[in-house]
Amino acid sequence: MSTPEQPTGSRPVTAGPPVTTPAPTPTPAPTPAPAPGPATRVADAPAPRRADDKQVAPTRAGMVWVGVCVAVLLAIALIIFLAQNTRTVAVHFLGLSGSTSLALMMLIAAVAGALITVIAGSSRIIQLRRRVHRR
């Protein structure tokens, strides 16, 4: 029987005691937080709630401010839209025809859709108000 040859420059393999890895140590259980007492710092304790410390109700001025911010963002988006869609297109509608920029035609279509929505919504609101006033 032949013994396997060892490559030159390597150490011979010797049989020795088996190598064992140490068993993992159990992790200690987390300690509960100390109960608040005189030793607790003031910064760690939650501030007591006062009777006048309530959440502020929304106001009309706040709602107007949000509306103005949204309107400004929409105006910026509209300006970018108009600047990017300057190509001229031919338009034919109910026997009328003409040519204008693509952005202007899309803006006109969006405004017309918004007007139709406002008219339909306003008519429903008026109808409901009349019904309430009759009672």
Give residue 52's pLDDT. 61
User: What pLDDT is recorded for position 108?
Assistant: 84
The pTM is what? 0.41
The dihedrals phi and psi of 9, each to the nearest 5 degrees, come to 85, 5
Which residue shows structure tokens 């006033």?
133
Give me the chain's average pLDDT, please.
76
Range 29-37 contact pairs with CB under 8 angstroms and sequence separation of 24 or more: none
Show Cβ contacts of residue 100 under 8 Å, excluding neighbours closer than 6 positions.
Answer: 88, 89, 91
